[in-house]
Structure 1
Amino acid sequence: MKFKKVLLGLCLFVSALSFSQEVKKEVLFTIDGKPYYTDEFVRIYNKNLDLVKDDSQKNLDNYLNLFIGYKLKVSKANKLGLQNGKKYVGELKSYRTQLTKNYLTDTKVTKELIDEAYARSKKEVKASHILFLVDENALPADTLKAYNKAIDVRKKALAGESFEKLAEQYSEDPSAKENKGDLGYFSVFRMVYPFETGAYTTPKGEVSKPIRSRFGYHVIKVIDVRQNRGDVTVAHIMIMKPKKDSPEETAKVKSTIEDIYKKLKQGEEFETLAKQFSEDKSTAAVGGKLNRFGSGELSSTVFEDQSFALKQPGDITAPFESQHGWHIVKLIEKHTDRPFDELKADFENKIRKDERSKLIANSMTEKLKVKYAVKKDAKVYAKAVKALNDKIYTQSWEMPKDAAAYTQTVLSINSDRTFSAEDFLKYVSIQQKGGLVVKPIAKQADILFDNFTNDKLNAYYNDNLEKEFPEFGLVMGEYRDGLLLFDLMEKEIWEKAKNDTVALEGYYKNNIDKYQWKDRVDADVYSSTKEDVIKKVKKFLKKGKDADFIKAELNKEGKVEVLEKLGVFDQDSEALPKMKEWKKGISDVVKEGNYFYVVKTNDILPAGPKTFEQSKGRVINDYQQQLESNWITDLEKEFSVEVNKDVFARVKKELNQ
């Protein structure tokens, strides 16, 4: 989403509000009589001061113009009725859901779980397990049966029987027949939380008591505990898999990576070869260097395992294949530990998504029960329960036909939010579809009513966040305006700029100087660390020999003496040697660093204008900016803006102190 464009430098993304200076709330300006206040202006200015890169926007006079321009656009959006659009309403709801996350959790419990996860992340556990399946909502008798099975098999393990054989014989995990229960090494967040806790709290070499998860009961044997292998920084050279899946193309790719590997073994520099030949465009220019990563962070486990297997900085792997292509990896640095602050946000996000989140939600609900006055009407509830029957267990129960008889209030929260018995029965009707198993009905109804109460209690709290937390209301106001502005800009600027081909081509012609190619060459580049080899290449080129012939003649007996790269390059490209003058034909031998080059230049492509199609993306962006500038001028004419200059002078004085 183009949200940064929407806000036009105001950066209204908010994670927390900061009030670095208190300013008296006064009317700063009006638009068609509607007031806008000093506190909002100062809050946004202070919040974004460090984020604004353009110094002109830090100037208070310029910032006021930006702010007024922003509010003019919001005024226009409201005037057009965009706030009633279905898409807008849905997106605002989605943003609110995201924003509420920090308010709907118990921060103390969350912190405890993050601390626990961090401590566990320092270790990797190797464990085996035996699983006895039982559904989360199974009847007590079935649950007890599975538990007793787990107890009996644990006794056999404690008596000295082979855990692997027991897993093979008794485990109801389908993979146990092959792996004999062995799960290998894992760390935090790799298993369901109860299982993880069982593994991390069972001493090495011992067998746990039965551990209940949503899958059933587990008996866990901890085989080993080791330090987490941490993170690594590596560089790589990558040759992508061919687009055409044929034996010939595949062999060519493999041959290329093997030639590069031979050059590395002969002592040539990894970074230089990466710049010349790696097809990972995002890293080639920096010698193939990747950002630091840990286990499970990349899409390729093969790449990770090869990287972690390297021992010393400077070590390289042999060529290996991943799902993306062929790689050679060089170890730059091993990082044994990641700081807590670096992991905190990631851990919190993962906690929200796994079973730990239930602990947080339950804790939050208990606090809300203390915070708000929650009242249940026992008589009305008893009447509602009588309307239930055994059909709820077969998902066939239907609402009573005399629904009007169940309109009395069964639950109230703070006396200003009430729910009827009919509301509760509708809740039961929905919940039965998930499968209800607790008997008798009265006990199942009690569980459902507790869940119903918890849901309504949390919804009540959520609905009142703007009242509970003034800063939340301010943030929502900013999001609300930002989304309106997005819809307006899409309607008035972006779509017009993309689709008005005639206007775009006119803008391109009037600004052709902005859309120019650099000087380029169409060339075949040959490189070697040996001058005599490159001289031979030059002789072959003069005789009209092609790259395949030259490589076949000079790269013999498993040694790669010369590499070639063909294509169209900017004349200042890293892939080319620096030349005093570019001209068609075969160059002299050029030495640069440890390499000798000879270049066959097929064509000189001088600097000149790009075609409209070649520069269309940038033309659209530039044209959008022009449209927007003109549009602001039109808005200033459409709406009446009055600035309270005395108030603004006081604001400037206070902010500049």
Structure 2
Amino acid sequence: MRLKQVLLGLFMAANAVSFAQENKKEVLFTIDDKPFYTDEFARVYKKNLELVKDDSQKDLNHYLDLFIGYKLKVEKANKLGLQNNASYQSELKSYRAQLSKNYVTDTKVTKELIDEAYKRSLKEVKASHILFNVDENALPADTLKVYNQAMSVRKRILNGEDFETLAVQNSQDPSVKDNKGDLGWFSVFKMVYPFESGAYKTPKGEISMPVRTRFGYHLIKVYDIRDNRGQVTVSHIMTLNGQNPVEAAAAKTTIDDVYKKLQQGESFESLAQQFSQDKSSSGKGGQLQRFGSGELSSDEFENVAFSLKKEGDISQPFQSQFGWHIIKLIEKHPVKSFEDTDVDFEGKIRKDDRSKLINKSLNDKLQAKYKVVQNKKAYKNVFSYLNEKYYTQEWELPGGKDPNEVIFTMEKDKKVKSTEFVTYIFNQQKANLNVKPLSKLYERLYNDFVYSKLSKYYDDNLEKEFPEFSYVMDEYRDGLLLFDLMEKEIWNKAKTDSLGLKNFYESNKANYQWKERVEVNVFSSTKEDVIKKTAQYLKKKKSVDFIKSNINQKGAVDVMVKSGIFEIGNDALPKHQNFNVGITEISHEGNYYFVTQVIKKIEKGPKKLEETKGKVINDYQQYLEAHWVDELKKEFTVKVNQEVFDRVKSQLLIK
């Protein structure tokens, strides 16, 4: 598939479509009475003018021939029915889905969110929180009750009560017993978006207003803000904290002894393999995956790791809640630039709560664009079918009901039936929505359904909405067809048509000739005395194996040999040697000395088909393609409107 995409890129460069639509649209030529227009020809020509290096392709008469040839190939592909192949349809659908992503989103809001995320990524926040649980679909009265609880606790904190004490007493975060609400340091994308925003918008030392997330309400206390430290890669040696005083003392003694060995110059990696009790990293010399602030469960470990300045620096032994450690800095990874994070951040934004802001913005625009008009009577009728069984996924449309009426229209004449909405409601039971009361759930289902229909209508009409989208899709559609056609008619034929290939080779044998060749053994060494000794052995008619075994001793490789048949001038042969049969003079190039044993010389002559088959196939493919268009012109009837073409030429040449 990757090869196809690369080749399609080449086709599309050669047959590219620009986005400017100028000049009056007229029929430039027909193929079997199918019209092809001046606007496309002008776009293609102007786009290619910047790409082609061959001046002949800039000539408009020549370019028209190329353009007609291209369209003939596409018509041939359609005539063969290649556009109906399942693989072609799947590939085209996949490409359209990928391309449409740039159009079915609110790019302005997306850019604003990327900018916001990057600015936040430059800082780290140290914060604690108190969580008051409330379901995101809770009734307004229940939500207000929990909000007031949060405000009551906030007031107590502002009046001087201790945040940690109130966190332990009130927070419904299961981890509060261990951390007293402390979340440590974190940066962008580490928390759900509303919480992240609450933390970054709260000044250092202050308490936020209640922040609503899908978990409930949070009170956030920001202790500190600092520049992002980036990430580090480190190795460590660890001895585990003991279960009793004896084991604890042994762990401390072992880590101290290891540190002394390191000071004596012993290998950190070897000592980690022998003594580290972190079995997940000891086999790798103690190396851990790179990490940033807040990604490990030990602040002590992180702080020591980030305190090391230079690669190779080693910390003194220190203790965490897990045991004793010694850390070696492998590499520091600074915060990435905006350009390096742009694509990554956009992907993350589409996966978290920020995506809701993008969808809402697009939904608002589509609502305004397509003028949704609701049929209030039909809306009430469908709601009357809904009941509490929906919450247990047991709801079905009551028998005898057939709500086949228009529930809303959009874009004046696009009518959406209640039947579609009811089917949507039924299928959404699987999502196990718990929005209450039932009227609120129904309103949400309706709004989501409208958005889905608007989005689909918008996506289906992208070609009408955006000329550039239509041009690119036409370009890709034709390029994909041309690829499949070339594969069928040219590339595969050149590989499988053995008789045609042989005849082509015989007719063009003069193009496949060997230069003068030699069969040789080329000996090389960085030591001149070794090559001299090699030359002496060769003159005594010693074999290659004899020479290698007598010179390369005690595990050393002082001489190497390259054997084979090579054309004179081949890079495999030493320069500045006279390749007559026998033993050459010693030559010197760079750090190497050479002597060559020339076994025989082979005169110039034709290559056998098997010896040059790859090149012959390539040339045969080009030959078939060159004559192919002539055959297509006989198969299809092409009529050029010369008067229109002359007018197009004058317009393009003026510009």
TM-score range, shorter chain: 0.5 to 0.7
RMSD after superposition:
5.8
Distance in 2 (alpha carbons) for counterparts of 1:13 and 1:144:
63
- Report what 1:239 is aligned to: none
Distance in 1 (alpha carbons) for counterparts of 2:600 and 2:208:
72
- Report what 2:628 is aligned to: 631
- Structure 2: gaps spanning 5 or more residues: 233-289, 293-305, 315-329, 537-545
CA-CA distance at 1:527 after TM superposition: 5.7
Match of residue 11, structure 1, among 1, 13, 17: 13
Q: Does 1:111 align with 2:117?
A: no
Q: After superposition, what is the alpha-carbon deviation per residue over 1:297-325, rounded to whole angstroms, capped at 9, x for unaligned?
A: xxxxxxxxxxx99999xx9999xxxxxxx
CA-CA distance at 1:224 after TM superposition: 5.0
Q: Secondary structure at the match of 1:56?
A: helix
CA-CA distance at 1:138 after TM superposition: 5.5
Match of residue 483, structure 2, among 483, 486, 489: 486
Q: Secondary structure at the match of 2:13?
A: coil
Q: How does 1:43-122 map to 2 (within 5 A)?
A: 43-121=43-121
Distance in 2 (alpha carbons) for counterparts of 1:377 and 1:75:
47
CA-CA distance at 1:50 after TM superposition: 1.9
- CA 1:7/1:160 → structure 2, altered by over 3 Å: closer, same or farther? closer
CA-CA distance at 1:198 after TM superposition: 4.4
- CA 1:89/1:9 → structure 2, altered by over 3 Å: closer, same or farther? closer
Distance in 2 (alpha carbons) for counterparts of 1:597 and 1:632:
54
Q: Which amino acid aligns with 2:90?
A: G
Distance in 2 (alpha carbons) for counterparts of 1:579 and 1:330:
45
Q: Does 1:373 align with 2:355?
A: no
- Report what 2:387 is aligned to: 389
- CA 1:379/1:362 → structure 2, altered by over 3 Å: closer, same or farther? same
Q: How does 1:262-411 map to 2 (within 5 A)?
A: 338=337, 348=346, 351-403=349-401, 405-411=402-408
Asked if 2 retains the 8 angstrom alpha-carbon contact of 1:534 and 1:589, the reply is no
Asked if 1 retains the 8 angstrom alpha-carbon contact of 2:375 and 2:408, the reply is yes
State which structure, 1 or 2, has the greater radius of gyration over its C-alpha atoms. Answer: 2
Q: After superposition, what is the alpha-carbon deviation per residue over 1:504-541, rounded to whole angstroms, capped at 9, x for unaligned?
A: 5766775673899999998786669xx99999999998
Q: Which amino acid aligns with 1:440?
A: P
Asked if 1 retains the 8 angstrom alpha-carbon contact of 2:192 and 2:353, the reply is yes
Q: Which amino acid aligns with 1:382?
A: K
Distance in 2 (alpha carbons) for counterparts of 1:500 and 1:627:
11
- Report what 1:461 is aligned to: 458
Q: Which amino acid aligns with 1:90?
A: S
Asked if 2 retains the 8 angstrom alpha-carbon contact of 1:520 and 1:571, the reply is no
CA-CA distance at 1:470 after TM superposition: 3.8
Distance in 2 (alpha carbons) for counterparts of 1:649 and 1:613:
50
- CA 1:147/1:7 → structure 2, altered by over 3 Å: closer, same or farther? same
Asked if 1 retains the 8 angstrom alpha-carbon contact of 2:531 and 2:594, the reply is no
Q: After superposition, what is the alpha-carbon deviation per residue over 1:236-291, rounded to whole angstroms, capped at 9, x for unaligned?
A: xxxxxxxxxxxxxxxxxxxxxxxxxxxxxxxxxxxxxxxxxxxxxxxxxxxxxxxx
CA-CA distance at 1:444 after TM superposition: 0.9
CA-CA distance at 1:407 after TM superposition: 0.6
When structure 1 is superposed on structure 2, of 190-199 and 63-72 the one drifting more is: 190-199
CA-CA distance at 1:393 after TM superposition: 1.7
- CA 1:401/1:89 → structure 2, altered by over 3 Å: closer, same or farther? farther
- Report what 1:581 is aligned to: 577
CA-CA distance at 1:33 after TM superposition: 2.0
- Report what 2:416 is aligned to: 419
CA-CA distance at 1:406 after TM superposition: 0.8
Match of residue 546, structure 1, among 552, 572, 583: 552
CA-CA distance at 1:463 after TM superposition: 2.6
- CA 1:621/1:359 → structure 2, altered by over 3 Å: closer, same or farther? farther
Distance in 2 (alpha carbons) for counterparts of 1:423 and 1:100:
25
Distance in 2 (alpha carbons) for counterparts of 1:50 and 1:448:
51
Q: Secondary structure at the match of 1:17?
A: coil
Q: Secondary structure at the match of 2:434?
A: coil
- CA 1:648/1:605 → structure 2, altered by over 3 Å: closer, same or farther? farther
Q: How does 1:595-634 map to 2 (within 5 A)?
A: 596-597=591-592, 621-634=618-631
Asked if 1 retains the 8 angstrom alpha-carbon contact of 2:517 and 2:568, the reply is no
- CA 1:394/1:409 → structure 2, altered by over 3 Å: closer, same or farther? same
- Report what 2:247 is aligned to: none
When structure 1 is superposed on structure 2, of 517-526 and 476-485 the one drifting more is: 517-526
CA-CA distance at 1:47 after TM superposition: 2.3
CA-CA distance at 1:408 after TM superposition: 1.3
Match of residue 426, structure 2, among 417, 425, 429: 429
Q: Which amino acid aligns with 2:65?
A: N
Asked if 2 retains the 8 angstrom alpha-carbon contact of 1:192 and 1:213, the reply is yes
Q: Secondary structure at the match of 2:124?
A: strand
Distance in 1 (alpha carbons) for counterparts of 2:421 and 2:624:
55
Distance in 2 (alpha carbons) for counterparts of 1:417 and 1:580:
82
Q: Secondary structure at the match of 1:102?
A: coil
When structure 1 is superposed on structure 2, of 3-12 and 481-490 the one drifting more is: 3-12
- CA 1:136/1:406 → structure 2, altered by over 3 Å: closer, same or farther? same
Q: Which amino acid aligns with 2:124?
A: V
Q: Secondary structure at the match of 1:11?
A: helix
Asked if 1 retains the 8 angstrom alpha-carbon contact of 2:586 and 2:595, the reply is no
CA-CA distance at 1:363 after TM superposition: 0.7
Match of residue 477, structure 1, among 449, 474, 478: 474
- CA 1:61/1:220 → structure 2, altered by over 3 Å: closer, same or farther? farther
Asked if 1 retains the 8 angstrom alpha-carbon contact of 2:16 and 2:48, the reply is no
When structure 1 is superposed on structure 2, of 34-43 and 148-157 the one drifting more is: 148-157
Q: Secondary structure at the match of 1:447?
A: helix
- CA 1:550/1:471 → structure 2, altered by over 3 Å: closer, same or farther? closer
Asked if 2 retains the 8 angstrom alpha-carbon contact of 1:27 and 1:647, the reply is yes
When structure 1 is superposed on structure 2, of 125-134 and 66-75 the one drifting more is: 125-134
Q: Does 1:42 align with 2:64?
A: no
Asked if 1 retains the 8 angstrom alpha-carbon contact of 2:574 and 2:594, the reply is no
Asked if 2 retains the 8 angstrom alpha-carbon contact of 1:577 and 1:590, the reply is no
CA-CA distance at 1:115 after TM superposition: 3.0
CA-CA distance at 1:635 after TM superposition: 0.6
Q: Which amino acid aligns with 1:546?
A: N
- Report what 2:226 is aligned to: 225
Aligned residues: 544
- Report what 2:262 is aligned to: none
CA-CA distance at 1:36 after TM superposition: 1.4
Q: After superposition, what is the alpha-carbon deviation per residue over 1:172-206, rounded to whole angstroms, capped at 9, x for unaligned?
A: 579x989x9777665x5566544554454455677
Asked if 1 retains the 8 angstrom alpha-carbon contact of 2:535 and 2:583, the reply is no
Q: Secondary structure at the match of 1:487?
A: helix
Q: Could you state the TM-score of these two structures normalised by the residue count of structure 2?
A: 0.64
Q: How does 1:484-563 map to 2 (within 5 A)?
A: 484-500=481-497, 513=512, 544-546=550-552, 549-550=555-556
Asked if 2 retains the 8 angstrom alpha-carbon contact of 1:126 and 1:184, the reply is yes
- Report what 2:275 is aligned to: none
Asked if 1 retains the 8 angstrom alpha-carbon contact of 2:195 and 2:211, the reply is yes
Q: Secondary structure at the match of 2:550?
A: coil
Q: Which amino acid aligns with 1:435?
A: N
Distance in 2 (alpha carbons) for counterparts of 1:86 and 1:618:
33
- CA 1:170/1:81 → structure 2, altered by over 3 Å: closer, same or farther? same
Q: Secondary structure at the match of 1:410?
A: strand
- Report what 1:283 is aligned to: none
Asked if 2 retains the 8 angstrom alpha-carbon contact of 1:493 and 1:624, the reply is yes
Distance in 2 (alpha carbons) for counterparts of 1:210 and 1:612:
81
Q: Which amino acid aligns with 2:72?
A: L
- CA 1:451/1:224 → structure 2, altered by over 3 Å: closer, same or farther? same
